[in-house]
Amino acid sequence: MKNSEIFQEFLGSAATKDVFKHLKNTLTDSITIWDYFVNWQKVISNFREVELHLNTLNYLIGKGNIEQKFREILQTYPAIYSTIPILIACRTRNFRVLTSFTDGNFQYKGFNFGNQSLLFPENIEAAVEFARETGVLELFENRTIKSIPDYVLGIEVGLDSNGRKNRGGDTMEVIVEELVKSICRTNNLKYIKQATAEKILTSWDIVVEVDKSSRRFDFAINNQELIYLIEVNFYGGGGSKLKASAGEYKALYDFLTAQNHKFIWITDGLGWKSALKPLEETFNYIDYTLNLNMASSGLLAEIIKQQL
């Protein structure tokens, strides 16, 4: 690692091999915070959007002749039509269902549950078929569930759990932003979160050329027009993505330093234990690769403060 003298003060050695050893030995196993488990704000917001329709559908619980009752509700309250997919835990409103596949003869039927202010008989019959064949009407008729609103609230919690794989990265940004805020407040500096080239130009009148139009840096810090561009991520598990990620940051480092901008990569997670070689290669290549332990020790603050 270049410019490693700063590590002598904080880690007791400026030798590249010692600094990397410290990085790999202080990788954290978890950055799970309470918000990781369920994003209740999102769950409740999604639920509120359909709550009135769900309460109307609740009329169906325990009813006999349920297909006819469902038809009657759809005729009277056509807006309920668009809520049918959430009853089977789906966000999409368009389905193409394989209805027959005997003797190699594949037959499909399409269903579209977009918002409707008026339902035609064919729409209603399609909705009844869909709800019947997916088992939803049987659940209602047999009182397998007691409350459709409560049932859908549970579905929303389940669907939100799918977002946990992305929340590790979000949490990493939250943690690093606290460090960035403190550094900027103490040294009277400015920073931009989710910084695009356009935001940087508009805010600071400084040009940052990017390697792809979609590039967003997690943070950009301006210290007397010396721009620090920071990327953060967390890998709790291994996989091929880690090697690709390390390679990407080597290329990004070259691209940004050619413009006289600074680049810092803050990464963590025990997933790196399975990809130490590409991590070390990138660590040796770019100026600053830090983990959370290193960044929070004061290293990040000194690197930026001293314009290293």
**Same domain as 301, residue 171:** yes
Q: Under a CB-based contact definition with an 8 Å cutoff, are residues 175 and 293 in contact?
A: no
173 and 300 fall within a common domain? yes
Percentage of the chain exceeding pLDDT 90: 74
Residues 181 and 246 in one domain: yes
Q: Quick: pLDDT tens for 12-23.
A: 888 889 999 999
Among candidate residues 146, 161, 176, the one where a domain is terminated? 161
Asked whether residue 192 falls in the same domain as residue 47, the answer is no
81 and 177 housed in the same domain: no
Q: Out of 46-50, 113-117, 122-126, 275-279, pick the least confident.
A: 113-117
Domain finish residue from 108, 138, 161:
161
Q: Do 260 and 130 share a structural domain?
A: no
| Residue-wise pLDDT tens digits, 182-223 | 999 999 999 999 999 999 999 999 999 998 888 999 999 999
Specify if 88 maps to a domain: yes
User: Does residue 50 share a domain with residue 183?
Assistant: no
Q: Are 299 and 7 in contact (CB under 8 A)?
A: yes
Is 1 domain-assigned? no
Are 274 and 153 in contact by the 8 Å Cβ rule? The answer is: no
pLDDT tens per residue across span 122-179: 999 999 999 999 999 999 999 999 999 999 999 999 988 776 666 656 788 989 999 9
Tell me the HSE value of 36 on the side-chain side, using a 13 A CA sphere.
16
Q: Are residues 142 and 199 in the same domain?
A: no
Q: Which of 102, 132, 161 is the last residue of a domain?
A: 161
Q: Is position 105 within any domain?
A: yes
Q: How many domains does the chain have?
A: 2
**Inter-CA distances, 163 with 38, 58, 83, 156, Å:** 9, 28, 21, 11
Answer yes or no: is 49 within a domain. yes
- CATH assignment at residue 261: 3.40.1350
Strand-strand pairing, 217-223 and 190-195: antiparallel
Please check whether residues 260 and 147 belong to one and the same domain: no
Say if residue 120's pLDDT is above 80. Answer: yes
Average pLDDT, whole number, for the chain? 91
pLDDT, greater one: 268 or 240: 268
Domain that holds residue 123: 40-161
Report how far residue 47's alpha carbon sits from residue 55's, in angstroms, rounded to the nearest whole number.
11
Same domain, 213 and 103: no
For the whole model, what pTM was predicted? 0.72
Question: How far is it, in rounded angstroms, from Cα 131 to Cα 84?
Answer: 8
Whether 59 is covered by a domain: the verdict is yes
If asked whether residues 138 and 82 sit together in one domain, one would say: yes
- Which H or E element spans position 221? strand 217-223
C-alpha span between 17 and 284 (Å, rounded): 9
In-domain check, residue 140: yes
147 and 60 in a common domain: yes
Is residue 38 within 8 A of residue 160, CB to CB? The reply is yes
